[in-house]
């Protein structure tokens, strides 16, 4: 096991990793920008190193500063968390070159699975169904020819994309040609790579992802699925597990497909294989080569500490459990608490937390890095916490969530807590009959 790990992130995920290190008896090193000098992850870590001014490009995305911080503190490994450099193959390679262990998959695996076109091809080799489309849409003419064979509506997507960026929908050929130009420009600006591919647009699909974990001995297991269809502009708002919208047969086939794909990729560490589901058909769309924001849902459902498992695997240990040892008990949900105003088109709401009272009780977990008097900076993602609940049944989980959300008092800023309470009252949500477009329709009054 490592003696010291540097956490190359901020906020609740940095604090989550620090706590996992402490439970493993591993010293932790926090990094921080000037905006995060008083942050909880800095307070709780064994050491902390300033890496630059508030803009992420000059701090949390500064590879040289992160590597130097690790060397300065004699850290042996780096945990990237999620976001920032977590899926950056060059950062993983830079850690290796500096004699550091990257707590995640190899640079090769990140590159292989991070490129959506390459991942589609690999899925085909692993006999995992993919959404009808093409691996390349390098020109508007080629895209139009392909789309003519697939049929409209169709999605133009960035091969190196993520977070909903570099994606456009076309209803006809004229719209497709415009979409290709806009998506390419956006992809080049956001990812430095303008490569595009096409996918048939599924009108009312569910978004379901499978958590996998692999070790360096070739063992791969799944930890069941998470339902992620409650989205706004392709950003997840709420997640739950198990998915209320798939049958046991689809669950078995989908989880087996996810494991096959991970084995085909030679994947080690934590990863998430994402699918779109319509009826009893499911299609691979991408793989996230990192720990997910919503990983606590799986932890509550299975009792497996995914972050500690990540660290153990990176240290060379085999998986601590076999597939038959992974339990599936009850129902779990996660509610992302964002500093945003849902009534003002989700306008960011940074500012001082003037009062904070977090919920508790059986089956309730809060992952957050804010506190009374904390000044939420305007430079980073607006998520300030996650409320996770577990109960034996989905109905009990919904009732527990409603109670916990009402207990959650966070004043001084606007948050998404009222939106979550509204969602819990919706008939479609309570019935588990929602899809990726449901929340947009609800907000638009459709």
What is the distance between the alpha carbons of residues 269 and 404, in angstroms, rounded to a whole number?
A: 33
220 lies in a domain?
A: yes
Cα torsion angle, 400, 83, 41, 55, sign: negative
347 lies in a domain?
A: yes
Residue 75's H or E segment, with its range, is: none
Domain identity same for 239 and 267? yes
Domain identity same for 431 and 313? yes
Q: Are 306 and 298 in contact (CB under 8 A)?
A: yes
Structure-token pair, residue 431: 């019935």
Backbone angles phi, psi at 208, to 5 degrees: -125, 130
The residues annotated as belonging to the active site are 290
Q: What is the pLDDT of residues 75-130, one digit of tens each?
A: 999 999 999 999 999 999 999 999 999 999 999 999 999 887 789 889 999 999 99
> Going residue by residue through the chain (446 aa), what tens digit of pLDDT does each one get?
999 999 999 999 999 999 999 999 999 999 999 999 999 999 999 999 999 999 999 999 999 999 999 999 999 999 999 999 999 999 999 999 999 999 999 999 999 998 877 898 899 999 999 988 887 777 899 899 989 988 899 999 988 876 677 889 999 999 999 999 999 998 888 888 888 989 888 889 999 999 999 999 999 999 999 999 999 988 999 999 999 999 999 999 999 999 999 999 999 999 999 999 998 999 999 999 999 999 999 999 999 999 999 999 999 999 999 999 999 999 999 999 999 999 999 999 999 999 999 999 999 999 999 999 999 999 999 999 999 999 999 999 999 999 999 999 999 999 999 999 999 999 999 999 999 999 999 988 76
Q: Please confirm whether the linkage preceding 397 is cis (ω < 30° from 0).
A: no
Residues 6 or more apart whose CB falls under 8 angstroms from that of 248 comprise none
249 lies in a domain?
A: yes
Domain identity same for 186 and 218? no
Domain identity same for 368 and 406? yes
363 lies in a domain?
A: yes
Residue ranges of the alpha helices (H) in 335-431? 394-407, 417-425, 427-431
121 lies in a domain?
A: no
Nearest to 172 by CA among 205, 150, 190, 203: 150
What is the distance between the alpha carbons of residues 68 and 235, in angstroms, rounded to a whole number?
A: 33
Domain span holding position 368:
206-444
* pTM over the 0.85 mark: yes
Structure-token pair, residue 240: 């739950």
Q: How far is CA 158 from CA 22, 144, 193, 274, 410, in A?
A: 39, 16, 8, 16, 37
Q: Which of 200, 219, 245 is the last residue of a domain?
A: 200
CATH number at residue 86: 3.40.50.20
Look-up of token digits 């692999």: 214
- The number of folded domains in the chain is 3
DSSP 8-state assignment for residue 427: H
Instruction: Characterise 303 by phi-psi region: left (phi > 0), alpha (psi -120 to 50), beta (else).
Output: left
What is the distance between the alpha carbons of residues 341 and 383, in angstroms, rounded to a whole number?
A: 12
CATH number at residue 306: 3.30.470.20
């Amino acid at each position: 096991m490592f003696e010291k790990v540097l956490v190359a992130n901020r906020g609740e995920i940095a604090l989550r990793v620090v706590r996992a290190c402490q439970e493993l008896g591993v010293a932790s090193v926090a990094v921080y920008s000037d905006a995060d000098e008083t942050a909880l992850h800095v307070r709780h870590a064994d050491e902390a190193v300033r890496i630059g001014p508030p803009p992420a490009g000059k701090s949390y995305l500064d590879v040289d500063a992160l590597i130097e911080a690790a060397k300065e503190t004699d850290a042996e490994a780096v945990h990237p968390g999620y976001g920032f450099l977590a899926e950056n193959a060059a950062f993983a390679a830079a850690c290796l070159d500096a004699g550091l262990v990257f707590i995640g998959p190899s640079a090769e695996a990140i590159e292989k699975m991070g490129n959506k076109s390459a991942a589609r091809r690999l899925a085909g080799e692993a006999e995992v169904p993919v959404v009808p489309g093409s691996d390349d849409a390098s020109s508007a003419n080629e895209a139009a020819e392909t789309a003519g064979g697939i049929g409209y509506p169709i999605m133009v997507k960035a091969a190196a994309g993520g977070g909903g960026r570099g994606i456009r929908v076309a209803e006809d050929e004229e719209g497709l040609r415009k979409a290709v130009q806009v998506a390419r420009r956006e992809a080049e600006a956001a990812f430095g790579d303008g490569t595009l591919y096409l996918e048939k647009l599924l009108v009312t699909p569910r978004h379901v992802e499978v958590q996998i974990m692999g070790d360096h001995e070739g063992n791969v297991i799944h930890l069941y699925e998470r339902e992620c269809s409650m989205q706004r502009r392709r950003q997840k708002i709420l997640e739950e597990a198990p998915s209320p919208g798939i049958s046991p047969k689809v669950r078995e086939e989908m989880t087996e497909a996810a494991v096959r794909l991970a084995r085909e990729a030679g994947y080690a560490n934590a990863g998430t294989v994402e699918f779109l589901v319509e009826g009893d058909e499911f299609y691979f769309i991408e793989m996230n080569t990192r720990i997910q924001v919503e990983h606590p849902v799986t932890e509550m459902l299975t009792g497996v500490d995914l972050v500690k498992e990540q660290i153990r695997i990176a240290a060379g240990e085999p998986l601590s459990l076999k597939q038959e040892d992974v339990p599936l008990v009850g129902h779990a949900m996660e509610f992302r608490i964002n500093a945003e105003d849902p009534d003002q088109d989700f306008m960011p709401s940074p500012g001082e937390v003037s009062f904070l009272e977090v919920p508790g009780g059986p089956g309730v977990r809060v992952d957050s890095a804010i506190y009374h008097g904390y000044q939420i900076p305007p430079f980073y993602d607006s998520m300030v916490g996650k409320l996770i609940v577990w109960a034996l049944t989905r109905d009990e989980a919904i009732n527990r969530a409603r109670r916990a959300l009402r207990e959650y008092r966070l004043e001084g800023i606007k948050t998404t807590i009222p939106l979550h309470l509204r969602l819990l009252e919706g008939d479609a949500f309570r019935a588990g009959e929602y899809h990726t477009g449901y929340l947009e329709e609800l907000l638009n009054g459709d």
